[in-house]
Structure 1
Amino acid sequence: MNERFSASGLMNPFFPDEVSFGDKGVTFKVRKLFKSNDNFVFYTDISGVEIESGIFFSTIRIIPRMRPEIIINNFTKGDAKKVKQLILDKVQA
């Protein structure tokens, strides 16, 4: 399973956040103007996924075990729901 989701280009057209699914875990790329953070989390290390929805876009909050939470912004509501469902399917498997 090698799916990839990118945040909307409307809010941050040059540096959108990304979520990439692999066989063993998920990579979260949080981009800023002069830096980016790549966080890889094994599916077994994820204890929860939360979505905070606004009018147009959603924020996805990943809660790993023994690490600070990872926050990725500006995803469409549909993509946020897909990301959450894919993570939960892998965590429960």
Structure 2
Amino acid sequence: MNERFSASGLMNPFFPDEVTFGEKGVTFKVRKLFKSNDNFVFYSDISGVEIESGIFFSTIRIIPRMRPEIIINNFTKGDAKKVKELILAKVQA
């Protein structure tokens, strides 16, 4: 199930955030100008997923158990919804 979603290149063309689905969990890559953070979270450790939608883009907020939340920005509304659906399907399985 190695699906990958990248944030829109319009807001940040050189450093888009990414979400990569694996067999046991999800990797969230949050990129900044001079650094990037890779966060791997097991599906069983995710307690919730929230989406904040603006006019064009959405922010996805992942709420893991026992860790700070992970915020990834500038995804299309369709991709944000698909990411949420895939995560919740794996969490509930």
TM-score, normalising length: structure 2: 1.00
CA distance in 2, matches of 1:38, 1:2: 16
TM-aligned CA deviation for residue 32 of structure 1: 0.3
TM-aligned CA deviation for residue 72 of structure 1: 0.0
TM-aligned CA deviation for residue 33 of structure 1: 0.3
Deviations 1:50-76 (A, max 9, x none): 000000000000000000000000000
CA distance in 1, matches of 2:68, 2:15: 22
Unmatched segments (≥5 aa) in structure 2: none
Q: Matched residue of 1:81: which SS?
A: helix
TM-aligned CA deviation for residue 43 of structure 1: 0.0
TM-aligned CA deviation for residue 40 of structure 1: 0.0
CA distance in 2, matches of 1:62, 1:33: 22
Deviating beyond 2 angstroms after TM superposition, the runs of 4 or more aligned structure 1 residues are none
TM-aligned CA deviation for residue 14 of structure 1: 0.1
Unmatched segments (≥5 aa) in structure 1: none
Q: Matched residue of 1:67: which SS?
A: coil
Deviations 1:2-59 (A, max 9, x none): 0000000000000000000000000000000000000000000000000000000000
TM-aligned CA deviation for residue 92 of structure 1: 0.2
In angstroms, what is the RMSD of aligned CA positions?
0.1
Count of residues in Structure 1 that have an aligned counterpart in Structure 2: 93
CA distance in 2, matches of 1:77, 1:22: 22
